[in-house]
Each structure stands twice: as C-alpha cells, then as structure tokens.
C-alpha cells in the first residue's frame, strides 16, 4: 500500500462530529474526545492500490484516468444554515476527503478504535479495502450563490460566476426535478464500488444538520477514457465511448478546454472547471431491435472497431466529406459524431467522464438504464454549444434526457486550506 504523503489540514469541527453521531447522541462522541486527531494513521487496506493525491492545483477526478465506478450526490444546504456553517462544512469535507482518498477512515478513531460508548466515526464498510483510486471532487451549484427567489443566503452572490446558470431547456428534454439541481455536489469515483459508496455515505453523514442529499446516482462501467493509457470502454448501446475524448496527455487542449483560466471570471475559479451532469435514459429495447447498420449510422462509427464510417481505425480522424458509391455521406448529416465534433460546434470540446447506470426496471419490465453523462469544461457555454447541436442527432430516437445539473468546480485545495476557500477570501 502506498504511504500517504499528504496531511489533512485539521480535525473535524464540532458540527462535523455531531453529524457522525447524529443529533441525539452528540454529547457522547465529543466528550469521548477520540475523534479530532489530525495525523494520518496506517491506511485501511493491504496490497497494491492506486492512491491519487487529494491536494493540488486542480481537484482530482477530472483528468485523473476515469475509474470504473461512480457515486455522485447533489446536496442542498439546510434552510437554517449560515455562512459559517457552509465554510465549516467545506473544511470538514476537505479533512475527511483528504483522509478517505488516501485509504484512511474518516477519523483516527474510525469504525472500531473510538469510544465504545459512541457510534463509530466511520461507518466501517471500507475497513480492509485499499484506496482503490478514490477521488472526491466538490462542486457548487448556482443556488448556493442565489436561491431561485434571489436570496443571498451566504453572502456570496457577488462571487457567482456570470455563466453559472441553470442550463437552458434543450429540445427533447424530459427532465425530472428529482434528478437535477443542487447547492453542492460530490463526485466520488473509485475502482471499487464499496469505496465510492463509503465516501459519499460518510461525507453526507458529516454534513448532518447542515446539508442533505437532494439526489444521487450510482454508476458502473466508465463510458469514457480520460487518458491514452486506458482502453476505450463501451456504453450500454455496445459502442466504444471516449475515443475522441480530451485526454490528460494533451495538456494544450486540457488547458484550453477544461481549466478555467485567469481572467475567465472570478479569481476564485482560476484552475477550476464547470461540471455538467445529464442523466440520459437509453431506450434499450428499441435500440436492441435496430439493425446493426442503422446503429452504426446513428453513431457514425463502426460497432466493432469504433472506427469512423469514413474509414480507418479507431483513432483515425473522421472525414466528414467522404462519400459512398451513390454519392451519399459516409458519416450521415445526423450522425452523433458529426454533430458533436468540434468542426460542428464552433471548436467547443468537452472532457467526458460519464458512467453507465441501471436503476432497476419500470412497470413494463423494461430496464431503467442509460448513461449518466458527466462533462467538465472551461465554460458552460461549451456544453450548451454541443448539446444544442445535438438537437438534430439521430441518437435522439433512442434516448431521453431526464436529469440535469451544473456545478462550478473550484480549483484544488492546498494542504493548509480547504476546497473552495478562495470563494470566502
Ligand atoms: C446516451 C447518450 C449518448 C451516447 C450513447 C453517446 C455515444 C457516443 C459515442 C459512441 C461516441 C463515439 C466515440 C467517442 O468519440 O467517444 C460519442 C462521441 C461524442 N459524444 Fe456522445 N453519446 C451520448 C450523449 C452525448 C452527449 C449528451 C454529449 C454532449 C452534449 C455527447 C458528446 C459527444 C462528443 C463531444 C463526442 C466526440 C465527438 C468527436 O469529436 O468525434 N454525447 N458519443
């Protein structure tokens, strides 16, 4: 197991500790005094596991090679929460996330080494598991800055990035309010689902009384590569997904399309990014009755190799002017990759980092399945440009967007500070 090189900035606040035990038993844990240790103990796990740094210029979980599992949660602040509560929550989340990502429990006392008279500080289901490449990424929704009725609850309305707006309505949207919005978000990605779930569970427990989960999503099977070291995975339509994605090994494109640059907006966002989630239901049954040739035409790529229909191999650039024997476009006018390609979006690109989901089935026995689309971009305008272009997408016959959210992702924290500190400076 890799030894952690990082230190967390401080212990959990009293409120954070109260969250761990629940309001009823609060006195016990605080009195027990075993939970506010700052140092990091031995990691939980044994054996080899990837450990990503938590602190740094940018938050992890963006250009980090996409892990295999996701637990994503959007939170709303409690109606009684103050600015101090919000700052304290971000400090507590930073402390806990710095530990969890290094393979530690939430506190030194953890699941079994605290007071026997108090509920354990850590829920325990990740005991013995390695860090599993866990990354925890935090974001701020538009309503954190100004509520829908214009209230500036936390004194940060003037710090709101001008482009951090609820996404516009797109053609074909069938959004369910229960799958969208949120004051805050946490994206937990790991190669072990139990590790990702453990992170969200414990962070929401710490938030007790200050923020609560509004909606959440489990994802399995990454649908993107964010590094050239990764094999391109497949989505639930059986196609390779992520071939033309932005990759970490292309720093010029990452700088140009993913990270907020100095002067783009408020200074506190420099080095951050914007995160969009779209919960997209895939009409699996209709797709599965569609001929292979039609499926390939819809995407504009072959199903086996993932090569553009204009020819070549998976990573050959598509030739959108290529014609067939009858003079037809080899990549159709409504093919997904033609409409999503930067040549059609005014140069806008996205770093896609989505996951498959299956949330059981509907009353007709059809799988409630699809793509939990996640993208990171320097400006929300990039997503809007691509999604608007997809209004003509042949894929629309087989998909339905049911959830939508946007968050400003602040830059990474330094070891002596917390995520989002610049917003309150
Ligand atoms: C369930 C819905 C979707 C499916 C099944 C899907 C599938 C695919 C597939 C198979 C590819 C080709 C391989 C690749 O380059 O990654 C692709 C490319 C792409 N998709 Fe999607 N996609 C979906 C939704 C979206 C949405 C909502 C967006 C953005 C608004 C989007 C943006 C892109 C982009 C930017 C590319 C790369 C285009 C290029 O430069 O060649 N996709 N998608």
pLDDT category, 89, cuts 50, 70, 90?
Answer: very high
pLDDT of residue 280 exceeding 90, the answer is yes
Residues 203-231: what's their mean pLDDT? 96
Q: Which of 172, 225, 220 is nearest to 196 (CA)?
A: 220
- pLDDT digits over 14-45, tens only? 888 777 765 433 333 222 222 222 223 334 44
Residues counted in the chain: 425
Q: How far is the CA of 299 from the centre of ligand 1 (A)?
A: 8
pLDDT of residue 284 exceeding 50, the answer is yes
Residue 36: per-residue pLDDT = 25
Residue 349: per-residue pLDDT = 98
Domain ranges of the chain: 1-42+53-131+183-221, 223-415
Residue 21: per-residue pLDDT = 61
**What share of the chain in percent tops pLDDT 70?**
91
Tell me the CA distances in angstroms from 417 to 10, 92, 261, one per residue in order: 9, 11, 21
Q: How far is the CA of 387 from the centre of ligand 1 (A)?
A: 10
Residue 49: per-residue pLDDT = 82
| Cα–Cα distance, 394 to 45 (Å, whole number) | 47
Mutate to test the pocket of ligand 1, among 320, 336, 403 (most ligand atoms within 8 A of CB): 336
Q: How far is the CA of 184 from the centre of ligand 1 (A)?
A: 26
Residue 22: per-residue pLDDT = 56
Atom of ligand 1 nearest to the CA of 345: 35
Residue 13: per-residue pLDDT = 87
pLDDT of residue 363 exceeding 60, the answer is yes
- Other Cβ atoms closer than 10 A to 417: 16
CATH of segment(s) 223-415: 3.30.70.1030
Q: How far is the CA of 321 from the centre of ligand 1 (A)?
A: 20
- pLDDT digits over 341-356, tens only? 999 999 999 999 999 9
Residue nearest to ligand 1 atom 20, measured at CA: 340
Q: How far apart are the first and last CA of the chain?
A: 37
Contact 54, 140 (CB under 8 A): no
Q: How far is the CA of 230 from the centre of ligand 1 (A)?
A: 17
pLDDT of residue 47 exceeding 80, the answer is no
- pLDDT digits over 219-258, tens only? 999 999 999 999 999 999 999 999 999 999 999 999 999 9
Ligand 1 first shell, C-beta below 6 A: 235, 237, 239-245, 278, 280, 282, 299, 301, 336-337, 340-342, 350, 371, 373, 383, 386-387, 390, 395, 399
Residue nearest to ligand 1 atom 36, measured at CA: 340
pLDDT of residue 54 exceeding 60, the answer is yes
Average pLDDT, the chain: 91
Q: How far is the CA of 352 from the centre of ligand 1 (A)?
A: 8
Mutate to test the pocket of ligand 1, among 277, 337, 339 (most ligand atoms within 8 A of CB): 337
pLDDT of residue 53 exceeding 90, the answer is yes
Contact 71, 216 (CB under 8 A): yes
Atom of ligand 1 nearest to the CA of 370: 1
Q: How far is the CA of 386 from the centre of ligand 1 (A)?
A: 10
pLDDT of residue 6 exceeding 80, the answer is no
Tell me the CA distances in angstroms from 328 to 66, 308, 320, 358, 397, one per residue in order: 37, 15, 11, 37, 22
Contact 139, 409 (CB under 8 A): yes
Residues 369-380: what's their mean pLDDT? 98
Q: How far is the CA of 255 from the centre of ligand 1 (A)?
A: 21
Residue 179: per-residue pLDDT = 87
Atom of ligand 1 nearest to the CA of 350: 35
Residue nearest to ligand 1 atom 3, measured at CA: 371
Residues 163-175: what's their mean pLDDT? 96
pLDDT of residue 407 exceeding 90, the answer is yes
Residue 9: per-residue pLDDT = 53
| Cα–Cα distance, 395 to 268 (Å, whole number) | 38
Comparing 5-14, 213-222, 226-235, 390-399, the range with the smallest average pLDDT is 5-14
Q: How far is the CA of 375 from the centre of ligand 1 (A)?
A: 11
The DSSP element (H or E) to which 32 belongs, if any, is: helix 26-32
Mutate to test the pocket of ligand 1, among 168, 226, 241, 319 (most ligand atoms within 8 A of CB): 241
Q: How far is the CA of 265 from the centre of ligand 1 (A)?
A: 28
Residue nearest to ligand 1 atom 35, measured at CA: 340
Strand 355-361 versus strand 273-282 pairing type: unpaired
Residues 6+ apart with CB under 8 A from 27: none
- pLDDT digits over 94-125, tens only? 999 999 999 999 999 999 999 999 999 999 99
pLDDT of residue 1 exceeding 50, the answer is no
pLDDT of residue 10 exceeding 80, the answer is no
Residue nearest to ligand 1 atom 7, measured at CA: 241
């Amino acid at each position: 197991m890799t030894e952690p090189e990082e230190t967390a900035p401080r212990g959990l606040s009293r409120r954070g500790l109260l969250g761990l035990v629940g309001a009823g038993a609060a006195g016990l844990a605080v009195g027990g005094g075993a939970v506010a240790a700052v140092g990091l103990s031995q990691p939980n796990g044994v054996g080899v596991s990837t450990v990503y740094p938590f602190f740094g210029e940018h938050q992890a979980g963006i250009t980090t090679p996409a892990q295999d599992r996701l637990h994503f949660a959007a939170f709303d602040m409690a109606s009684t929460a103050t600015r101090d509560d919000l700052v304290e929550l971000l400090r507590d989340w930073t402390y806990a996330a710095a530990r969890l990502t290094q393979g530690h429990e939430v506190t030194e006392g953890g699941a079994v080494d605290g007071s026997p008279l108090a509920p354990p500080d850590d829920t325990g289901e990740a005991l013995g598991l390695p860090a599993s490449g866990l990354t925890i990424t935090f974001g701020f929704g538009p309503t954190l800055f100004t509520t829908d009725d214009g209230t500036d609850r936390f004194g940060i309305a003037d710090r709101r990035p001008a482009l951090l707006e609820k996404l516009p309505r797109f053609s074909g949207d069938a959004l369910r309010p229960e799958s969208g919005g949120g004051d805050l978000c946490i994206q937990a990605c790991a190669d072990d689902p139990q590790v990702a779930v453990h992170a969200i569970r414990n962070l929401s427990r710490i938030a007790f009384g200050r923020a609560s989960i509004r909606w959440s999503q489990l994802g399995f099977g990454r649908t993107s590569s964010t590094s050239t070291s990764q094999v391109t995975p497949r989505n639930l339509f059986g196609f390779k997904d992520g071939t033309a994605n932005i990759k970490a090994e292309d720093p010029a494109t990452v700088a140009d399309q993913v990270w907020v640059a100095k002067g783009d907006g408020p200074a506190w966002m420099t080095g951050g990014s914007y995160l969009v989630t779209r919960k997209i239901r895939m009409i699996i049954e209709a797709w599965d009755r569609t001929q292979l040739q039609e499926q390939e035409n819809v995407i504009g790529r072959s199903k086996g190799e993932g090569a553009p229909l204009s020819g070549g191999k998976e990573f050959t650039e598509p030739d959108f002017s290529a014609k067939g024997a009858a003079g037809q476009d080899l990549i159709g006018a409504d093919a997904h990759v033609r409409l999503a390609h930067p040549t059609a979006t005014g140069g806008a690109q996205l770093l896609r980092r989505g996951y498959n989901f299956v949330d059981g089935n509907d009353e007709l026995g059809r799988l409630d399945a699809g793509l939990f689309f996640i993208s990171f971009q320097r400006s929300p305008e990039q997503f809007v440009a691509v999604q608007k272009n997809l209004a003509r997408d042949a894929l629309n016959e087989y998909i339905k967007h049911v959830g939508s959210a946007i968050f400003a992702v602040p830059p990474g924290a330094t070891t002596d500070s917390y995520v989002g500190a610049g917003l309150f400076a």
